[in-house]
Amino acid sequence: MLLALDTGNSDTTIGLWSGTKWLHIWRIPTKPDQPELFYGIKLRDYFFEANVEVTKIERIVLSSVVPALTDKLTGVIEILLGKKPIILGPAIYDQLPIKVLNPYEIGSDLVSNAIAAYEHYKSTCIAVDFGTALTFTTLSSTGKILGVSIAPGLKTAITSLTQNTAKLFDVPLRMPVSALGTSTITAIQSGILFGYNGLVQSMVNEIRKELKADCPVIATGGLSSIITPLHDFFDRVDPDLTLNGLRIVGETLKGDG
């Protein structure tokens, strides 16, 4: 089995791969100030509840865009599993099946997305990730990352808007039936969700225009299904794209464990 950990700014997603499918996917809120023990107990409990024999976990791959957590999670993994994880970062980028642009600037989660997207299409493509940030990662037909575009994520946009209004509202991320908001909540939903529908389509079309290619688009992230008008716009939606990229890394490289 292979264990993949994707530590983002909001959540740490943990996937257990059997060799043919994801057996379990767990999520822990990303809390950099918590000690190793917090994550160790969480992992141990997940394994126990799922009846996972840790001795059968042969490979561990870690992606982290939160430096304060990287060492903590590495320590937890070594204690619980007795193996060192493969850490997705600049030290191993030259061993990957893609070429990474600006290795010390790009987030490892975007690299993982790119790996999985290129593995699927083997051609020029765009990976759109609806996470804390909304990101567009574009690859060439030879697997080179050509560039990345970043905008605030859906939750980030709504939080920013509601925190700076005179009255605070709990605005659910739900597509409104009309672009004409008739209340504060539906007005915010309309502006953000219909607005982001246009943002995503415009961004993708601009990238395609520059590439002079009608390349496929694959979407991921927990919020990738929220904007319903985009369902037919995307060529594929893979909620586990980042984990699949880490799986490919684990299957391609040899770890220290």
End-to-end CA distance of the chain: 13
CA–CA dist 210, 83 (Å, integer): 45
The two tokens of residue 72 are 């903590």
- DSSP per-residue string spanning 30-98: --TTS-HHHHHHHHHHHHHHTT--GGG--EEEEEES-HHHHHHHHHHHHHHHSSPPEE-SGGGGGGSSS
The two tokens of residue 78 are 């070594």
> What pairing do the DSSP bridges indicate for beta strands 59-64 and 145-152?
unpaired
Lateral strand order in the sheet of 133-139: 145-152, 133-139, 125-130, 217-220, 236-237
Q: At what angle do helices 67-81 and 36-49 cross, to 10 degrees?
A: 50
109 is catalytic: yes
45 by Cβ neighbours in 10 Å (0-12 / 13-18 / 19+) ranks as exposed
Q: Is there a contact between 161 and 169 (Cβ–Cβ < 8 Å)?
A: no
Which of 6, 109, 129, 240 is flagged as catalytic? 109
Q: Which residues are catalytic?
A: 109
